Amino acid sequence: MANKQELIQGLNEDLAAEWGTIIRYTYQAANSFGIVGSELRAILEREVQDEIGHAAFLTDVIVDLGGEPTTTPDTFDKPKDIKQMLQFDLEMEKQDVENYKKHARMAEDLGEIELKVKLEEIAADEDRHAREIRRLLKGL
Q: How many residues does the chain have?
A: 140
Alpha-carbon distance 50 to 126, whole Å?
9
Contact 65, 6 (CB under 8 A): no
The residue extents of the domains of the chain are 4-68+78-138
Whether the pLDDT of residue 1 is over 80: the answer is no
Give the tens place of pLDDT for each residue, 16-57.
Answer: 999 999 999 999 999 999 988 898 999 999 999 999 999 999
pTM: 0.94
> According to the model, what pLDDT value does residue 139 have?
85
Give the tens place of pLDDT for each residue, 82-101.
Answer: 999 999 999 999 999 999 99
CATH number of the domain located at residue range(s) 4-68+78-138 in this protein: 1.20.1260.10
Whether the pLDDT of residue 2 is over 90: the answer is no
In terms of Cα–Cα distance, which of 57, 56, 47 is closest to 22? 47
The residues, any chain, with a CB within 8 Å of residue 9's CB and separated by 6 or more, are none
Contact 78, 27 (CB under 8 A): yes
Confidence of residue 120 (pLDDT cuts 50, 70, 90): very high
